[in-house]
Structure 1
Amino acid sequence: MRIIVMFDLPVATKAERKAYTEFRKFLVKDGYSMEQFSVYSRVTLGRDSTEVHVARLKNHIPTAGSVTVFTMTEKQFENRMVLLGKRKQNHSNDYGAQMTLFF
């Protein structure tokens, strides 16, 4: 099984930023990997394990904002599509390639 966690948490105040950081650190410590900004996932060993991890998530939800949780089979996750837009190439400002020569 796979758990996908998507969250939208406020970060306007210092307390909100702290709650965001603590939630994100909890996810990483609990074995989640970042898929995109504010989207994390982890593998579980089955429905029982998934229920345990979802219960742990519920215990660490910040008081403000929203958290969405999806559960799916690993096969469903493997069949996902990652769609990427075309990147503009601006050679006049492409200093990254040159900088790697010196580091």
Structure 2
Amino acid sequence: MWMLVMFDLPVVEAAERAAANRFRLSLLDMGFSRAQLSVYMRFCTSHAQVQTYCKQVEAALPKGGQVNVLQLTDKQYERIISFQGRRKEPAKKTPDQFDLFG
């Protein structure tokens, strides 16, 4: 199962930028990878693990803005169509268990 955290946070004032950066760094500390500017993703081995990370994301939320958490099954993840510029990227594959911990 995959977890995507998508966010739109205010960054007009210095304090807002600092809060947004702390949130982004907390996602990286939790093992999320940056997929796009405000989209981070992480592979989870179970629904219970997704719930654990949801609680951690909630604890790290800054005051303002909007944060959405999306859950995808492995099959849904593999059906993502990605483009780099005008070039279509190869289909994504769920990592093997060995790849996750190796």
**Does the alignment reach a TM-score above 0.5?**
yes
2 CA distance for matches of 1:74 and 1:15? 38
Match of residue 45 from structure 2: 45
TM-score, with length taken from structure 1: 0.79
1 CA distance for matches of 2:47 and 2:36? 24
Query: When you count strand as a share of all residues, which structure comes out higher?
Result: 2
CA RMSD of aligned residues (A): 1.4
Q: Whose relative contact order is higher, 1 or 2, with alpha carbons under 8 Å and at least 6 apart?
A: 1
SS of the equivalent of 1:62 reads: coil
Q: Tell which deviates more after alignment, 30-39 or 74-83.
A: 74-83
1 CA distance for matches of 2:80 and 2:40? 15
1:7 aligned to 2:7?
Answer: yes
2 CA distance for matches of 1:9 and 1:77? 25
Identity over the aligned pairs, expressed in percent? 37
TM-score, with length taken from structure 2: 0.80
Count of aligned pairs between the two proteins:
87
2 CA distance for matches of 1:79 and 1:37? 21
Give, in angstroms, the shift of residue 41 of structure 1: 0.1
Q: Which runs of 4+ in 1 moved over 4 A?
A: none
